């Protein structure tokens, strides 16, 4: 690991000013950044420790009914917050399916949004990776790529985004509150992440020195609480990144789906919102046939990037299963295996 300067600012403004120095990086819990530094993937000259900034560790119900989560709230704290988990159960389920309990106790929600891809070639400085070193090529194309993208990828990059949390946030129209030298702004999470195109090293819309200060979930997202689930298929249920995951939320009135939300994980370089699948469900009864139709729509544009053609069929099944679980109703209690296909797919509608 290279030598670096360590700074502990006392305000967001002070942190932003410190980040004006080239080679600076923000440090939260460090559960991803420090690993990348130790592996030689990234070598910042200056670390700006955000963990002591005031007012970024709160979970707040706002007057308009929306919920604001400070960027320094720990993943575990948010998942176990009673009011939050009741209003947004799929988000809590997604959080509890990610990493290990130890990491969830340390990791922050702002850091979760900023974690880097788990592509093995990105993590190996001896491999060509356009995301790590623009213009060097992509060894994942033609390499060991069974975990890689099937939607939105380019000839420059076929990596996937690793977050579970962000998939559920995307389904529920979360917005990201950002602060920089030019002031504060809010960006929908669907616009926050960028697809690789020819510039895979540009991962988000964050400008130099900008910092995530909060995440907001709209009040109307809580209207899906009675029919909302997150489902994640992985190679190791105890803790592993998703091969494919899905956050599904339904509004059902008189036996008819009036509105649907669906976002996918493990399939692209950003959490993938499927407007086509949502539209396919509107006005239908919540049946297996309807869910299979939506699953086909969700993966209509999917294409393999090598050894991962299996993800297309797996993804369709995950979508259909997640929708069926959501239609059955949000469980009264969090499943013993959150987001696992081995958990019960039935539940009581306890969050209406």
Residue 317: give its domain's CATH number.
3.30.390.50
φ/ψ of 84, rounded to 5, equals -65, -50
Q: State how beta strands 175-180 and 24-27 pair.
A: unpaired
pLDDT band at 346 (very low <50, low <70, confident <90, very high): low
The enclosing domain of 22 has a CATH number of 3.30.43.10
Question: Is 307 a domain residue?
Answer: yes
Question: Is 281 a domain residue?
Answer: yes
Question: Is 306 a domain residue?
Answer: yes
φ/ψ of 273, rounded to 5, equals -85, 130
Average pLDDT over residues 247-259: 98
Question: Is 241 a domain residue?
Answer: yes
Question: Is 315 a domain residue?
Answer: yes
Average pLDDT over residues 317-327: 97
Task: Please tell me what DSSP assigns to residue 115.
Answer: P
Q: What pLDDT, on a 0 to 100 scale, did the predictor assign at position 350?
A: 42
| DSSP symbols for 49-80 | E-TT-TTSS-EEE-TTS-EEEETT-BHHHHHT
Q: Is the pLDDT of residue 322 over 90?
A: yes
Question: Is 337 a domain residue?
Answer: no
Judge whether 230 and 220 are in contact, CB under 8 Å.
no
Q: What pLDDT, on a 0 to 100 scale, did the predictor assign at position 2?
A: 84
Gap between the Cα atoms of 286 and 288, Å rounded: 7
**Number of domains within the chain:** 2
* C-alpha torsion 247→114→266→96, nearest 10: -50
Q: What pLDDT, on a 0 to 100 scale, did the predictor assign at position 349?
A: 45
Q: Is the pLDDT of residue 351 over 70?
A: no
Question: Is 301 a domain residue?
Answer: yes
Domain that holds residue 37: 5-49
Q: Is the pLDDT of residue 345 over 90?
A: no
Question: Is 260 a domain residue?
Answer: yes
Q: What is the pLDDT of residues 90-140, one digit of tens each?
A: 999 999 999 999 999 999 999 999 999 999 999 999 999 999 999 999 999
Gap between the Cα atoms of 349 and 225, Å rounded: 9
């Amino acid at each position: 690991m290279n030598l670096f300067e360590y700074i502990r600012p006392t305000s967001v403004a002070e942190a932003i000013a410190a980040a004006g120095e080239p080679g600076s990086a923000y440090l939260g819990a460090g559960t991803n950044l420090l690993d990348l530094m130790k592996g030689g993937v990234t070598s910042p000259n200056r670390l700006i420790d955000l963990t002591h900034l005031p007012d970024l560790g709160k979970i707040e119900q706002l007057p308009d009914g929306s919920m604001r989560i400070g960027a320094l709230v720990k993943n575990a704290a948010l998942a176990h917050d009673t009011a939050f988990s009741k209003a947004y159960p799929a988000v809590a389920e997604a959080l509890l399916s990610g990493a290990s309990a130890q990491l969830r106790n340390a990791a922050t929600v702002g850091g979760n949004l900023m974690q880097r891809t788990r592509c093995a070639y990105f993590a190996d400085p001896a491999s060509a990776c356009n995301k790590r070193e623009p213009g060097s090529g992509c060894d994942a194309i033609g390499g060991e790529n069974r975990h890689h993208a099937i939607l939105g990828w380019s000839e420059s990059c076929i990596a996937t985004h690793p977050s579970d949390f962000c998939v559920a946030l995307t389904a529920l129209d979360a917005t990201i509150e950002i602060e920089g030298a030019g002031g504060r702004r809010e960006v929908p999470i669907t616009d926050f992440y960028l697809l690789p195109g020819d510039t895979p090293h540009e991962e988000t819309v964050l400008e130099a020195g900008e910092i995530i200060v909060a995440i907001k979930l709209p009040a109307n997202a809580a209207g899906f609480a009675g029919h909302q689930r997150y489902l994640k298929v992985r190679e190791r249920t105890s803790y592993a990144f998703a091969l494919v995951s899905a956050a599904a939320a339904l509004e059902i009135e008189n036996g008819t789906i009036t509105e649907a939300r669906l976002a996918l994980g493990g399939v692209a370089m950003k959490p993938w919102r499927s407007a086509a699948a949502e539209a396919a469900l509107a006005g239908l009864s919540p049946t297996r046939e309807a869910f299979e139709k939506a699953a086909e729509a969700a993966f209509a544009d999917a294409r393999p990037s090598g050894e991962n053609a299996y993800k297309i069929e797996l993804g369709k099944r995950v979508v259909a299963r997640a929708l069926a679980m959501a239609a059955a109703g949000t469980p009264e209690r969090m499943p013993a295996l959150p987001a696992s296909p081995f958990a019960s797919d039935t539940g009581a509608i306890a969050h209406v």
